[in-house]
Structure 1
Amino acid sequence: MAKAFASQGDMTEKTITFDEIGDGLYAFTAEGDPNSGVIIGDDSVMIVEAQATPRLAQKVIDCVRTVTDKPISHLVLTHYHAVRVLGASAYDADQIIMSDVARSMVVERGQEDWDSEFQRFPRLFEGHESIPGLTYPTTTFSDAMTVYLGSRRVDISHIGRAHTAGDAVIHVPDANVLFTGDIVEDHSACYCGDGHFADWGNTLDNIAAFQPDAIAPGRGGALIGSEATTRAIASTRDFVNSTYAPAARVAAKNGTLKDAWDAVREACDPKFADYAIYEHCLPFNVARAYDEARGITHPRIWTDKRDLEMWEQLQG
């Protein structure tokens, strides 16, 4: 390779924030690193997103223990990506919840995704030796399910494909707060390498229909108030559309992947170059957009070998 992935050289530790976004609801964020969410019920706690390793998960647990001593009973994983799920064992939760589709993707490509992500972004796997293996849910749902943490209702649903085919969102009705996973980002690049560009906009419409008072996005800061949530939904939509349209135009003319890379950079660099993990996401985003535009509806599996082959094409 001419050079390494941008993420391979990103070894700077990020500052953690732990913001209350509703009564007993918190967003654990870290300057564009994967976020987690916390939902405190009457007698127990639900965590949204596990982090990549048990050691990193402990940082979430440490924050939780500053606000409650209630046990962690539920862990919800919005999708299958390694950086979201492999820290699950640290929580010792009674239930680990995923959509049916997300579980099927663990079976189909979980190990390949782990190997790929570990190669791309080693800093996010601090303490990787503590990972006991792939994370499988104990409980799955097709369209929607409801969990009661005592009297507190938590609705978990699949409202459309976007970041992956099996994305889940978590809504806490008493506070009208949403945990969206990577369907919505804030000043952080969307990772679209396993995404569904044609569906993403409709899924964002479904999120906007909640008219949430706050959103904990997949990456970036907590979004509190309608102005912040509306802005982040709009910027996510712009990012996705600005990535796909140039790649689709190239594909329609039988251009190469490198042509698509150049066209997407021309469209996206002026608007998004300062977004967190932009350079990390871009090659994978272009490759997936180019595939989808050529009729490959089911995202191809990323492997550590395929990553390097794609990157060499783009460098050449």
Structure 2
Amino acid sequence: MAKAFASQGDLAEKKVSFTEVGRDLWAFTAEGDPNTGVIIGDDSVMVVDAQATPRLAGKVIENIRTVTDKPIKHVVLSHYHAVRVLGASAYGASEIVMSEKARSMVAERGQEDWDSEFGRFPRLFQGHESIPGLTWPTLTFNDRLTLYLGKRRVDLMFLGRAHTAGDIVAHVPDENVMFTGDIVEYHSACYCGDGHFTDWPATLEAIRCFDLAAIAPGRGDALVGEKLVNEALDNTADFVRSTYRPVARVAQGGGSLKEAWDACRTVCDPKFSNYAIYEHCLPFNVARAYDESLGIDTPRIWTAERDLQMWEALQG
């Protein structure tokens, strides 16, 4: 029997957790759904990743209001994907911050990504009618930007390509906590359909060099303590390598995409099949790994039509 497309069969509400990962630093998580970070400064609040809709953003705001009444002034978007950015309007922030590369990707493929993810994640896009349009930043940067919430410093940094070409992290030095977006996942499959497999492990090592006290990852539980931080970094690197290497061997040997899919499943299923959104991600991951191994550096744009064609070829 063919599997339901992407996450169309995942309609059960997830349990929300709101976890303090450092002093006045919080992770909004929901059993493998996209996470949001919250940084409370002296005079205002910064949100890291906005959720897919204003409706979902409202759940984040409800949790924020249980710990502070300070205004939300900054929304930082770790990358351009629709499930991360389209809820931004709900926060009423004065600044929406992205990397310059992420902004260029909104311009290049933002509408196609919205249409694509709308079909993949129907539960996340409930209440989509309230989305006012594509989310555009008011402030961009290339490699590094430091913002101050009163005395509290937040360093926004591009550490290398990974989940997308424009991923950034938010580091709070006074607590040595980092909000990584989808560069790091915990017991959730990495979505690599717009990724850069050969760069990703080095970006993870750049994160490891901070010797972090805690990480709020893109999906999965908040990670407090050196042991969990390093476990998540190791596991994410293993997922990326385990996906790419068998696909590359097949592709570079002249094999078909379907043969690459079979080779990837042989390696990855025993390790990762119980991870959140694993079956959803796998076809997109194999297709991108196949392209990258053949020298296609820029990920091809996913459209709703291409999604379905690829899914039928691999998961059908």
Alignment of 1:1-316 (within 5 A): 2-315=2-315
CA distance in 1, matches of 2:312, 2:224: 41
Q: Partner letter of residue 162 of structure 1?
A: A
CA distance in 2, matches of 1:79, 1:196: 14
Shift of 1:6: 4.1
CA distance in 1, matches of 2:47, 2:6: 30
CA distance in 2, matches of 1:133, 1:265: 37
Shift of 1:4: 2.9
* Unpaired segments ≥5 residues, structure 2: none
In structure 2, relative to structure 1, the CA distance for the partners of 1:6 and 1:105 (3 Å cut) is: closer
SS in 2 for 1:78: coil
TM-score, normalised by the number of residues in structure 2: 0.99
TM-score, normalised by the number of residues in structure 1: 0.99
| Equivalent residue pairs, number | 316
CA distance in 1, matches of 2:180, 2:83: 16
CA distance in 2, matches of 1:258, 1:315: 10
- Which runs of at least 4 in structure 1 moved beyond 4 Å after TM superposition? none
Shift of 1:3: 4.4
Q: Partner letter of residue 305 of structure 1?
A: E
In structure 2, relative to structure 1, the CA distance for the partners of 1:30 and 1:175 (3 Å cut) is: same
SS in 2 for 1:20: strand
CA distance in 1, matches of 2:3, 2:143: 43
Q: Partner letter of residue 278 of structure 1?
A: Y
Deviations 1:160-205 (A, max 9, x none): 0000000000000000000000000000000000000010011001
Q: Partner letter of residue 244 of structure 2?
A: Y
Instruction: State the identity as a percent.
Output: 72
Shift of 1:18: 0.1
Shift of 1:124: 1.1
Q: Partner letter of residue 92 of structure 2?
A: D
CA distance in 1, matches of 2:315, 2:180: 34
Shift of 1:149: 0.2
Contact 2:283–2:315, Cα closer than 8 Å, also in 1: no
Deviations 1:207-260 (A, max 9, x none): 000110000000000000000000000000000000000000110111111111
